[in-house]
């Protein structure tokens, strides 16, 4: 089977499939791949990014800073006025939309092979723009992102070829047969804009980017000004494939903000822009969703919950949760924030572990990980935005009790790294105003509830009213498990049950897990279900007498 055929089969099977190995081993990517990628990244620092093939801009701009060094990267990108980007995309539209879906999909798959050759460049670029540790930077922005892009390509190809292109329609009218020749076209909607985020500039950008491209829409990628280089490399690889095929690089453009001008609103409000993908805060996401005449796909903020009811081994649960809340210092849209614990405690085997002991175990596990010099740098990474660190360090929750104070840790490689280990606060269930908003970053709230039933009600309420992207639950009671599944499914929130060991609530697998459901305020789209691609084009039919 071809790569695309295999990917389409994987969409249906929902079992493990990865086209791009996540292990950065020399045996997989070559003995010199890491060193070469790092050298290319270092050589790019302080320079103009000249790999793009979309022409000369009106100037140069760049604002990126390394969270590990707290110093500018100095990379500059060609700046294009929003109207210029849109006009270029419109001019490239016809040639791209008239290619057969299979041809577009094949070209985009080739671009992913080019991206694969740059996984290490992208990893170091991600590390020094987002603060992710190297391994997460490599996996999330490289193989995992490429798998998500391939998933979007496969889904788009399948949906555009689901129905026959032509058919002869015959109806027996008695004395004669009425015959029509019918044809159908999947018609793309037009110019698409993808607005990226600062924490996952590649993983969160490529699904919408490639979904629009495979369905025939030219795309303008507007990255967050603090994290441009990782996705700039990807756009450059796409442009190389397009130009080699005799097509315009303007089919996929990079549109960066000027140093003194943000362009996202100008792009989104342009009448020629028909499709918008957005990842980021709720306020801008709601603005995008409110724009008339646009097809919009959003992933916004959410309040993610953990439900503790019962388990066989509380120590394993605490270790798993400590890793989940510490991973990338809580700067993940799937990171847990609220842990609901019954006032009576958690049933562990035949014993009931009191509430206070549960909190102490959680705090000890989090602190132990943060104070482990061999583990902390590879798990926590660094804080992307100085405002996140200031907010966490200055957080004051009325009526709460601090179970673990936020604390920096010393990074062994980067003495000036901006770091912060998770803080833990205890909150009463009645103080819902304290835990009903997303506290982005390394913050964990333990909410003392009357019982598991109240925990479930509160978690479902928060998901319905404020959104949630993930939920974790620990219970040995099948009746309670079914209740959690029922309540959280109605709240549009997936649940991971009884995770211990090396699998965490934060993680989503391409070709198997749907990232965000679109069923609550955390976002209106799901990566990658059929709706994620079919709303980017329209079926149009033509009939004539046979």
Q: Are 20 and 109 spatial neighbours (Cβ–Cβ below 8 Å)?
A: no
Q: Going from the N-terminus, what domains does the chain have, and what CATH number goes with each? A: 18-300 (3.40.605.10), 305-497 (3.40.309.10)
Quickly state the pLDDT bin for 206 (edges 50, 70, 90).
Answer: very high
d(CA 152, CA 217): 14
Quickly state the pLDDT bin for 1 (edges 50, 70, 90).
Answer: low
For residues 139-169, one letter each, b for 16 or more C-beta atoms within 10 angstroms of the residue's C-beta and e for the rest, the string is bbbbbbbbbbbbbbbbbbbbbbeeeeeeeee
Average pLDDT rounded to a whole number, residues 475-493: 98
- Structure tokens given for 63: 């604002």
Percentage above 90 pLDDT, the chain: 99
Least confident segment among 35-49, 88-102, 385-399, 530-544:
385-399
Closest to 324 measured CA to CA, from 389, 380, 395, 386? 380
The per-residue pLDDT of the chain, averaged, comes to: 97
Closest to 374 measured CA to CA, from 133, 136, 141? 133
* Placement of tokens 């697998």 in the chain: 509
Quickly state the pLDDT bin for 337 (edges 50, 70, 90).
Answer: very high
d(CA 76, CA 60): 6
Average pLDDT rounded to a whole number, residues 160-182: 95
Q: For residue 330, is pLDDT > 70?
A: yes
The alpha carbon torsion through 275, 276, 277, 282 (nearest 10 deg) reads -150
506-534 pLDDT, tens per residue? 999 999 999 999 999 999 999 999 999 99
491-503 pLDDT, tens per residue? 999 999 999 999 9
- Structure tokens given for 296: 């919009």
């Amino acid at each position: 089977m071809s790569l695309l055929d295999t990917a389409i089969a994987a969409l249906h099977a929902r079992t493990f499939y990865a086209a791009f190995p996540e292990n950065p081993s020399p045996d997989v990517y070559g003995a010199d791949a890491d060193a070469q990628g790092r050298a290319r990244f270092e050589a790019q620092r302080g320079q103009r990014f000249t790999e793009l093939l979309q022409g000369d801009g009106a100037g140069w701009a760049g604002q990126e800073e390394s969270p590990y060094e707290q110093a500018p990267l100095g990379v500059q990108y060609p700046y294009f006025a929003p109207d210029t980007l849109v006009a270029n995309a419109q001019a490239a539209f016809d040639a791209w939309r008239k290619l057969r879906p299979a041809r577009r999909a094949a070209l985009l798959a080739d671009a992913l092979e080019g991206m694969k050759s740059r996984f290490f460049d992208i990893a170091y670029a991600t590390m020094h723009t987002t603060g992710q540790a190297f391994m997460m930077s490599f996996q999330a922005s490289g193989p995992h992102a490429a798998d998500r892009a391939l998933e979007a390509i496969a889904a788009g190809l399948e949906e555009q070829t689901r129905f026959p292109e032509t058919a002869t329609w015959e109806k027996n009218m008695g004395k004669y047969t009425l015959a029509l020749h019918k044809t159908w076209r999947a018609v793309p909607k037009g110019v698409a804009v993808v607005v990226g985020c600062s924490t996952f500039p590649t993983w969160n950008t490529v699904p919408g980017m490639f979904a629009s491209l495979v369905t025939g829409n030219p795309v303008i990628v507007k990255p967050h000004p603090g994290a441009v280089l990782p996705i700039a490399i990807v756009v450059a690889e796409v442009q190389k494939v397009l130009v080699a095929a005799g097509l315009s690089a303007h089919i996929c453009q990079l549109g960066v903000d000027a140093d003194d001008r943000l362009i996202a609103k100008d792009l989104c409000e342009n009448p020629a822009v028909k499709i918008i993908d957005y990842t980021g805060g709720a306020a801008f996401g709601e603005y995008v969703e409110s724009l008339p005449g646009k097809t919009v796909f959003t992933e916004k903020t959410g309040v993610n919950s953990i439900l503790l009811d019962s388990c066989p081994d509380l120590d394993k649960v605490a270790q798993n949760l400590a890793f989940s809340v510490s991973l990338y210092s809580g700067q993940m849209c799937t990171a847990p924030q609220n842990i609901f614990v019954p006032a009576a405690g958690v049933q562990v085997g035949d014993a009931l572990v009191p509430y206070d002991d549960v909190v102490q175990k959680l705090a000890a596990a989090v602190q132990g990980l943060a104070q482990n010099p061999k583990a902390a740098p590879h798990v926590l990474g660094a804080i992307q935005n100085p405002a996140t660190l200031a907010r966490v360090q200055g957080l004051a929750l009325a009526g709460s009790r601090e179970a673990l104070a936020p604390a920096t840790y010393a990074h062994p490689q980067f003495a000036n790294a901006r770091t912060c280990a998770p803080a833990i606060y205890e909150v009463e269930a009645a103080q819902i105003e304290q835990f009903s908003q997303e506290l982005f970053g390394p913050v964990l709230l333990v909410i003392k509830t009357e019982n598991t039933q109240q925990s479930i009600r509160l978690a479902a309420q928060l998901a319905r009213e404020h959104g949630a992207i993930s939920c974790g639950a620990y219970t040995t009671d099948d009746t309670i498990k079914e209740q959690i599944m029922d309540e959280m499914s109605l709240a549009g929130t997936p649940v991971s049950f009884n995770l211990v060991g090396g699998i965490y609530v934060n993680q989503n697998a391409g070709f198997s897990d749907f990232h965000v459901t679109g069923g609550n305020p955390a976002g209106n789209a799901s990566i990658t279900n059929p709706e994620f691609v079919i709303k980017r084009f329209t079926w149009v039919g033509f009939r004539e007498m046979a």
